[in-house]
C-alpha cells in the first residue's frame, strides 16, 4: 500500500499489506482508512478499516 501526497502525487510511505488469493482477489480502487486498531495475533499487529462494506466482520 502506498501513501501518496495528493498535491504532489509523490509516494510518502510504502507499507506491506495482506492481499487476496487468485480465486478471491483484492479489489482495485481508491479507498480511505476510517478506523485504526492495534491487534496482537496471527493477522498482524495493526488493522485498518476501509470505507468499503466488506472491510469488517459482522
Domain for residue 48, yes or no? yes
Calpha distance 3→51 (Å, rounded): 16
In a domain, 37, yes or no: yes
Residue 21 is assigned to a structural domain of this protein: no
Which pLDDT value is given to residue 46?
Answer: 82
Whether 11 is covered by a domain: the verdict is no
Residue (of 6, 47, 12, 52) closest to 28 by Cα position: 52
- Each residue of 4-57: pLDDT tens digit? 999 999 999 998 887 888 888 888 888 888 999 887 767 678 888 888 877 655
- Residue the block writes with cell 466488506: 54
- In this structure, is residue 50 part of a structural domain? yes
2: in domain: no
Instruction: Kindly state whether residue 22 falls inside one of the protein's structural domains.
Output: no
12 lies in some domain: no
What local confidence, expressed as pLDDT, does residue 58 receive? 45
- Note the pTM of the prediction, 2 decimals: 0.46
What range defines the domain where residue 35 resides? 30-58
Q: Are 24 and 8 in contact (CB under 8 A)?
A: no
Amino acid at each position: 500500500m502506498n501513501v501518496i501526497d495528493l498535491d504532489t502525487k509523490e509516494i510518502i510511505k510504502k507499507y506491506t499489506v495482506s492481499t487476496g488469493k487468485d480465486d478471491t482477489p483484492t479489489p482495485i480502487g481508491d479507498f480511505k482508512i476510517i478506523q485504526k486498531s492495534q491487534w496482537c495475533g496471527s493477522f498482524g499487529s495493526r488493522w485498518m478499516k476501509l470505507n468499503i462494506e466488506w472491510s469488517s466482520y459482522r
